[in-house]
Amino acid sequence: MGSSGGATSRTGRLIGAMRQKRARALALALGVAALALGLAACGSGGGGSGGTVELEGEPSGKLTISNWPLYIDPGKEGTVKEFEKATGIDVKYIEDVNDNAEFFGKMQPLLEQGESGGRSVFVVTDWMAKKMHDLGYLQNLDKEGIPNVEKNLVSSLRNPGFDPNRDFSVPWQSGMGGVIVRTDLAPEVRSVCDLFDPKYKGKVDFLSELRETVPLVMTCEGVNPEEATEEDWMNSIEKIKGAVESGQIRRFTGNDYARDLTSGDAVAVIGWSGDAVQLQADNPNIEWRMPTEGCSLWSDNMVIPVGAPNPTAAEAWMNYVYQPQAAAKIAEYVNYVTPVEGVKQIFEKTEPELAESELIFPSAEFTAKCFTQAQLSEEEEQPVTRAWNAVLNG
Amino acid sequence: MRGAWRWLREHAVNIVAALVVVYMLIPIAVILVFSFNDPAGKYNFTWVGFTLSHWGNAFGIPELNSALLTSLKLALLATLVSTAIGTLMALALVRHQFHGRRAANLLIVVPMATPEIVMGASLLSFFIILGAPGLGFQTLLIAHVMFCISFVVVVVRSRLIGFDRNLEEAARDLGANSFETFRLVTLPLIMPGILGGALLAFALSIDDFVISNFNSGTTVTFPLYIYGAAQRGIPVEVNVIAMILFGVTVLAMGFTVWQQRRAEKLSEARPEQEAALPIPAGAAEAA
Amino acid sequence: MAERRRIVPYFLLGPGTVWLLLFFVVPLFYMGYLSLESGIVGSLSFSWNWGNYSDALSLYDTQFLRSFLYSGLATLICLLVSYPLAYTIAFRAGRWRNALLFAVVAPFFTTYLIRTLAWETILSDQSPAVDALRLIGLVPADGHVLATGSAVIAGLVYNFLPFMILPIYASLEQIDQRLIEAAKDLYASSRAAFWRVTLPLSAPGIVAGTLLTFIPASGDYVNAQFLGSAGNQMIGNVIQSLYKTQLDYPAAAALSFVLMAIIMAVVLIYIRFAGSEALMGEDKL
């Protein structure tokens, strides 16, 4: 390439080229932005009310279930396999519910469209079941398909506040939130309030679940969580915040307080009853204790979402696990409070220690002071959640 | 005393290096040790006793297996696609002058410099606003290919830069057309670079957590399975599988290095062979 | 013939460019769109809500500062720890070079999460490692390492070591040994030769390594989640929480942009200061 012309024309060409380049870059950017906004306009729409399940003949075909991890007895002789053998239905069992809000976030775009991502059943805690129902994401159940539920559901769970007639939810397992302690390291802890004792500074874990931890802390102030006001929630959150800042609370956990308890990094935690039974197998010094002010009672519920393929099979599954034999098999592995009547009698013959356990078969006196999971109204939800997350995230 | 001090100073760097290597291997050792643990319950946190049963039952947990399979499928597909795309891009960038070269360079470097959480979050926003078909294997695949391309380009590019173009010219002089030249000369010679890029892409994809966490919907990959299990007690089999993956990759890398050494030895032997044609080939190789 | 030559590069670039544009650049625009919406999942609406950005800066300034503090410290420690190892591999390893490179890279073929969880075991309160630290006095007698900032930084350092070691090694390896010999011929001591010849020549590697460590570390959340406590959460944790549990996508999107903007600003200043053009990949044909 010969160099024709002098420096000025070359500079001129350079500037021209630069301008051209910049103009092209700008055009490209605008084009991309336009494309993006254009596509955004045709986003999602729809939604709709839940409707009721329509049963069609004998249950058959495929069934996809979403549940929490380690919430069923696994393996070749597990309940899923037994169900498949008994009914011929092909089950895909996924353990992808790790957190109610997270699961909601994942499912919401689909449910909004009336889709369920292939799932026919999933298991969510009371408050999330209510939330989904209120948004029209769940179908009402056809009671004809689940006679065992009608027959065997324990009386204490028949008429919960959020679903008085059990129209859209069937309990999977129930549980209690209280304190779990290392009896060899912190034997005197008997209530949630004891967790604020500076003696245990840096050795206490709280649950990150808003609706478990804060109501329990409320009881320390004498508040009844079932009647709590927004101010009560905020006050308890403030108290917890103080404990974080002073280093009292080691960390907020999900189920992973188990690690801290086993290693002794934590001596007392807010925790769930089912985990304690499992932990005891590893370390007999670990014990779940009913807080003196009472515990929190919750259930994880099976629900059928809108757009569920094969709801007939879904109800067949619900019906199956409400047989006392099947429920006993699950309860033996999971160690939470079974919602099915008749399991205790089976255990009295096969697993007598489990039959005695207050954690799996709590008596009415045991849970006298306990409260069902507190609900947040729509207006309260945003500010309380925000305040709570501000504490969790430091 | 002075001698010892001097020895220490001279070898200080080596000692630090050795300590660092030990430091890097400690967690691996811990993972390995706990894969032989025999916990009574669900939790694998404290040492209880030695057992080989979990090694025997490594693939005994169906959810773990399906997560692993998903990860392997995803990594394989993502590797294929991103390696193909990345190699083409590298060829363009190294061999051709064209308008927009700087922009293309930028486009490749910026993803590598973006925190994973930003990439994952923006892809999530994108898929959410688009609506259907929703998050799942396809969205994961798209995301994985996206972040692998840049790395493949960088690796292949570095190999291409050192490439002797005279070989291609020689091939053309001998009558090969462009396509044949590419297929028979270029491609085999840059294959190590392509394989290196592919290996890197595979490793990145199979280990990806952050971006997958945001864009998997309800598909469960191996890292996501572990994340979920971390809450409820990671089965010992997870440690076993992690060690198997580790072992397989070490073997694979060992194999490539061994191949490299062999190739080097053979290329060393060849000039002697040519210089001493009358002598039988066997003796020359032994020389 | 010349015509064909000119479009060939565009064909080669085509698929990759389209993919990156469509799935990297465009999503960033979407995230921008999302960041200007208000409400949470289920009730999002576009409203030019610049408030998300001012909220991002005011509500989460502690986490931002903390993130950059942690990632800055982690990068520095990484550098100090990695350089000797990279140096040894490049100059003193001989036959063991490949084996050492393996040792550097291989641990990272176990999953990120499992490695971090292994650190939970190693740094547990009763572990021999922490007991040793208590003995030396680095940890107070009743203190703990896990659930503190130190554990998070330690995790970050560990997880990003190869990103620091490999670029430094690569640039050290390319140094012509004769330069160092020449320096020694000119009566430079080993130490002087290092400081005035080797170190400056390895600068591109150091720059690349520090960037490859600092940038991902700033956005990390796994280490803080498993090794830290409520007071050690980084901005990545906030973004994750906003997306996953609070379902406040607009705030999360705004935070992500702010994070990216700050990182880019830091990187640009750093590159201008360190002056490395080698980073942008200007290939010489």
Nearest chain A CA: its distance from B228 CA (Å): 6
Q: Is A181 within 8 Å of A271 (Cβ atoms)?
A: no
Report the run of H or E that residue A289 belongs to, with start and end: strand A286-289
Q: Which residues of C are less than 8 Å from A104 in CB distance?
A: 41, 247
- Quickly state the pLDDT bin for A2 (edges 50, 70, 90): very low
- The more confidently predicted of residues A68 and C2 is A68
- The more confidently predicted of residues A168 and C177 is A168
- Quickly state the pLDDT bin for A13 (edges 50, 70, 90): low
Residue with tokens 């990390």: C220
CATH number, domain containing residue A80 = 3.40.190.10
Q: Average pLDDT, stretch A301-312?
A: 92
What burial letters (b/e) apply to A77-91, b meaning 16+ CB within 10 Å?
ebbbbbbeeebebeb
Backbone dihedral angles phi then psi of residue B44, each to the nearest 5 degrees: -115, 60
Residue C74 inside a domain? The answer is: yes
Residue B178 inside a domain? The answer is: yes
Its domain, for residue B202, covers 62-234
Residue C6 inside a domain? The answer is: no
Residue C120 inside a domain? The answer is: yes
Asked if B128 lies within 8 A of A109 by C-beta distance, the reply is yes
C30 in reach of chain B (CB within 8 A): yes
Question: ipTM score of the complex?
Answer: 0.78
Angle at B65 between CA B61 and CA B67, to 5 degrees: 120
* Category of C275 on φ-ψ map: left (φ > 0), alpha (ψ -120 to 50) or beta: left
Task: From B236, B205, B199, select the one nearest B222 (Cα to Cα).
Answer: B205
pLDDT score of A123: 95
Its domain, for residue C82, covers 57-278
The sign of the dihedral angle between the CA atoms of A54, A57, A59, A64 is negative
Residue B48 has pLDDT above 80, yes or no: no
Q: Is B112 exposed, middle or buried (0-12, 13-18, 19+ CB in 10 A)?
A: middle
pLDDT score of A12: 55
Lowest-pLDDT choice from A95-104, A221-230, C36-45: C36-45
Task: From C145, C69, C233, C64, select the one nearest A391 (Cα to Cα).
Answer: C233
Nearest chain B CA: its distance from C121 CA (Å): 7
pLDDT score of B278: 46
Residue C138 inside a domain? The answer is: yes
- Quickly state the pLDDT bin for B236 (edges 50, 70, 90): confident
Q: Are residues A159 and A194 in the same domain?
A: no
Task: From C155, C127, B228, C232, select the one nearest A256 (Cα to Cα).
Answer: B228
Angle between helices C97-105 and B236-275 (to 10 degrees): 150
Residue B169 inside a domain? The answer is: yes
Residue C148 has pLDDT above 80, yes or no: yes
DSSP 8-state symbol, C92: I
CATH number, domain containing residue C125 = 1.10.3720.10
User: What number of helices (H) and strands (E) belong to chain B?
Assistant: 13, 0
Q: How far is CA B194 from CA B155, B168, B169, B264, in A?
A: 8, 18, 22, 19
pLDDT score of B133: 65
Residue C9 has pLDDT above 90, yes or no: no
Of the residues A263, A289, A322, which one is the last residue of a structural domain?
Answer: A322
Residue B47 inside a domain? The answer is: no
- The residues, any chain, with a CB within 8 Å of residue A102's CB and separated by 6 or more, are C244, C245
Nearest chain A CA: its distance from B282 CA (Å): 54
How far is residue C201's CA from residue C194's CA, in Å, rounded to a whole number? 10
Q: Are residues A97 and A115 in the same domain?
A: yes
- The residues, any chain, with a CB within 8 Å of residue C185's CB and separated by 6 or more, are none
Angle at A244 between CA C131 and CA A200, to 5 degrees: 50
Q: Is B90 exposed, middle or buried (0-12, 13-18, 19+ CB in 10 A)?
A: buried
User: What number of helices (H) and strands (E) belong to chain A?
Assistant: 14, 10
A393 in reach of chain C (CB within 8 A): yes
Asked if A283 lies within 8 A of B46 by C-beta distance, the reply is yes
C237 in reach of chain A (CB within 8 A): yes
Residue A21 inside a domain? The answer is: no
Residue B209 inside a domain? The answer is: yes
Nearest chain B CA: its distance from C228 CA (Å): 15
Asked if A281 lies within 8 A of B40 by C-beta distance, the reply is yes
Q: Average pLDDT, stretch A43-65?
A: 70
Residue A33 has pLDDT above 60, yes or no: no
Asked if B203 lies within 8 A of C109 by C-beta distance, the reply is yes
User: Regarding beta strands A286-289 and A249-253, do their DSSP bridges make them parallel or antiparallel, or are they unpaired?
Assistant: unpaired
User: Regarding beta strands A286-289 and A170-182, do their DSSP bridges make them parallel or antiparallel, or are they unpaired?
Assistant: antiparallel
Residue A19 has pLDDT above 80, yes or no: no
Residue B243 inside a domain? The answer is: no
Task: From C240, A261, B228, A232, select the one nearest A251 (Cα to Cα).
Answer: A261
Percent of chain B with pLDDT over 70: 90
pTM confidence score: 0.81
Chain B residue at shortest CA distance from A74 = B61
Predicted confidence (pLDDT) per residue in B194-227, tens digit? 887 888 888 889 888 989 988 887 788 999 888 8
Q: Which residues of A are less than 8 Å from C62 in CB distance?
A: 394
> Which one of B218, B221, B226 makes the best mutation probe of the A interface by having the most chain A beta carbons within 10 Å?
B218
Cβ pairs bridging A and C (under 8 Å): 94
Q: Are residues A154 and A182 in the same domain?
A: no
Residue B35 inside a domain? The answer is: no
- Quickly state the pLDDT bin for A11 (edges 50, 70, 90): low
- Residues shown for chain C: 285
Task: From C110, C113, C132, C119, select the one nearest C221 (Cα to Cα).
Answer: C113
Q: Average pLDDT, stretch A121-131?
A: 92
Residue A137 inside a domain? The answer is: yes
Average pLDDT of chain B to the nearest whole number: 80
Q: Which chains touch A (3 or more CB pairs under 8 A)?
A: B, C
C245 in reach of chain A (CB within 8 A): yes
Chain B residue at shortest CA distance from A66 = B218
Q: Are residues A312 and A285 in the same domain?
A: no
Nearest chain B CA: its distance from A218 CA (Å): 26
Counted domains in chain C: 1
Asked if A44 lies within 8 A of B48 by C-beta distance, the reply is no
Chain C residue at shortest CA distance from A28 = C21
Asked if C26 lies within 8 A of A202 by C-beta distance, the reply is no
Its domain, for residue A113, covers 62-168+304-322
Query: Residue B130 is nearest to which of A39, A115, A278, comparing CB atoms?
Result: A39
Lowest-pLDDT choice from B195-209, C92-106, C195-209, C256-270: C92-106
How far is residue A364's CA from residue A353's CA, in Å, rounded to a whole number? 19
pLDDT score of A25: 52
Predicted confidence (pLDDT) per residue in B142-194, tens digit? 999 999 999 888 888 877 776 777 888 888 888 878 788 888 888 888 887 88
Average pLDDT of chain A to the nearest whole number: 83
Task: From A61, A59, A299, select the one nearest A174 (Cα to Cα).
Answer: A299
Q: Are residues A211 and A149 in the same domain?
A: no
CATH number, domain containing residue B229 = 1.10.3720.10
Counted domains in chain A: 2
Asked if A96 lies within 8 A of B231 by C-beta distance, the reply is no
Q: Which chains touch B (3 or more CB pairs under 8 A)?
A: A, C
Predicted confidence (pLDDT) per residue in A147-174, tens digit? 999 999 988 888 888 888 999 999 999 9
Q: Average pLDDT, stretch C216-238?
A: 90
Query: Residue C27 is nearest to which of B123, B249, B254, comparing CB atoms?
Result: B123
Q: Give residue C32's identity as a one-letter amino acid code.
A: G
Three-class secondary structure of residue A204 per DSSP: strand
How far is residue A212's CA from residue A205's CA, in Å, rounded to a whole number? 13
Residue B73 inside a domain? The answer is: yes
Nearest chain B CA: its distance from A151 CA (Å): 32
Calculate the dihedral angle through the C-alpha atoms of C33, C222, A94, A131, rounding to the nearest 10 degrees. Answer: -50
Predicted confidence (pLDDT) per residue in A244-294, tens digit? 988 899 999 887 888 888 888 899 999 988 888 878 877 889 999 999 988
Query: Residue C253 is nearest to which of B12, B16, B125, comparing CB atoms?
Result: B125
C53 in reach of chain B (CB within 8 A): no
- Quickly state the pLDDT bin for B279 (edges 50, 70, 90): very low
Residue A27 has pLDDT above 60, yes or no: no
Q: Are residues A123 and A239 in the same domain?
A: no
- The more confidently predicted of residues A377 and A241 is A241
- Quickly state the pLDDT bin for A39 (edges 50, 70, 90): very low
Nearest chain C CA: its distance from B271 CA (Å): 24
Q: How far is CA C13 from CA A286, B87, B104, in A?
A: 61, 9, 8
- The residues, any chain, with a CB within 8 Å of residue A160's CB and separated by 6 or more, are A126, A166, A299, A372
Residue A44 has pLDDT above 70, yes or no: no
Predicted confidence (pLDDT) per residue in C35-87, tens digit? 888 877 667 777 787 888 888 888 888 899 999 999 999 999 999 989 988 88
pLDDT score of A4: 42
Counted domains in chain B: 1
